[in-house]
Amino acid sequence: MSVAGATNGTGMNSVGADTILSIRNLTKTYPNGVQALKGVSFDVKRGEFLVVIGLSGSGKSTMLRCLNRLHHPTSGEVLYRSKEGSVVDIAAAEGEEILTVRKKIAMIFQHFNLIPRHSVLRNVLYGALGRTGVFKSIFGLFSSEDEKKALEYLKLVGISEKAYYKAAQLSGGQQQRVAIARALTQAPDILLADEPVASLDPATCHTVMDYLRRVNQELGLTIVCNLHFLSLVRQYATRVVALKGGQLVFEGSPMDIDEAWFARIYGEGAKEVHIN
């Protein structure tokens, strides 16, 4: 990871002022030979609610995990422009730098990925692990400031009364809200969401999406979210990109996805399912 100007790579300075992430020619080949991403390029604007659509196996999850380096891209660039205006290439980060990237780019998951046997509050506090020393954290000594923040974010997602329950005792929708609170405790710049509502029922689905929108609008967090349901995309996304077979096939407004585009993204014969 290098600061722009220090090692001026392929046009790091050409990242626009309103761009937070510039993904360029991103490829990912898994050790077993599967090519999940075949050169994807697009920009994420600061403050937008960008939704990524595509079939299962189209590379959406891989793409998201390359952005916060849960997976390591095979080639390409992921240029990140911080609030202060410095530009770094996330794809080139190594060692400790990867942890720095992850602190700035939080993530929530389809299966919530909480620690089920630990309390809700502790799960939210784990968002502060990145800025807490190893030994302090092992003995559970988080700063009182972090604890205050954790409770505050639990309130924001409307489950502060569950703070001392075990995470496993909560319903799916509530667990996803805990995951959002954990992500917020990181004080991130970007929030990635990998199918955040795919394992929830339709009603809960909207609650969680509404909280994501609130986070986006009230806290000004940039959101990149993988979604299955087009109806949700039209309701929540400010912009959409579509992946198919590891390549970008669409970029634009959610209202531009008509039947012809739908068929191209999801294949002929696919039918749109509505969720209310």
Partner 1 sequence: MAQASQPLVSETGAAVRRTILDGFVFAYLVFAAVAMVLVGDENLASQVPQFVVWFLGLTVIGAGISLAVSSKGIKTLGWQIYAPPHLRAKSAEELATPLYKTFWGMQVILTVALTVIIGVQMTQIDILKLLEQDRFEHAMRLFGQLLNPDWSILPKAILKVIETIYIAFIATAIAVPIAFVLSFLMARNIMGGSKLGFAAYAGLRTLFNVSRSIEPVLWAIIFSIWASFGPFAGMLALLVHSIASLAKQYSEIVEGIEDGPIEGIESTGASRLQTIWFSVVPQVVLPYISYTVYRWDTNVHGDYFGSCRRWRHRYDVDGVLRSGDVAASGMHHLCYRVGGVGDGCVLFARPRCD
Q: Name the site residues for partner 1 (rule: CB under 8 A).
A: 29-34, 68, 70-72, 74, 99-104, 106-107, 109, 111-118, 126-130, 134, 137-138, 179, 182-183, 186
**73, 91 contact by CB (below 8 A):** yes
Nearest approach in angstroms of CB 140 to partner 1 is 10
By C-beta, is 98 or 151 nearer to partner 1? 98
Sequence-separated (6 or more) residues with CB below 8 Å from residue 234: 254, 255, 257
Question: Which residue has tokens 């959406």?
Answer: 60
- The secondary element (H helix, E strand) that includes residue 172 is helix 172-185
By C-beta, is 167 or 257 nearer to partner 1? 167
Name the nearest CA neighbour of 180 among 201, 158, 199: 158
Query: At 187, which amino acid appears?
Result: A
Bridge partners (DSSP) listed for residue 35: 29
Q: How far is CA 238 from CA 5, 140, 233, in A?
A: 32, 40, 9
Nearest approach in angstroms of CB 99 to partner 1 is 5
By C-beta, is 99 or 219 nearer to partner 1? 99
**276, 204 contact by CB (below 8 A):** no
By C-beta, is 6 or 115 nearer to partner 1? 115
Nearest approach in angstroms of CB 275 to partner 1 is 24
Sequence-separated (6 or more) residues with CB below 8 Å from residue 12: 4, 5, 79, 87, 89
Nearest approach in angstroms of CB 87 to partner 1 is 20
Name the nearest CA neighbour of 224 among 67, 74, 18: 67
By C-beta, is 147 or 251 nearer to partner 1? 147
DSSP 79: E
Q: How far apart are CA 103 and CA 216, in angstroms?
A: 18
By C-beta, is 69 or 206 nearer to partner 1? 69
**127, 106 contact by CB (below 8 A):** yes
Nearest approach in angstroms of CB 117 to partner 1 is 5
Nearest approach in angstroms of CB 161 to partner 1 is 23
**265, 53 contact by CB (below 8 A):** yes
Nearest approach in angstroms of CB 96 to partner 1 is 9
By C-beta, is 186 or 222 nearer to partner 1? 186
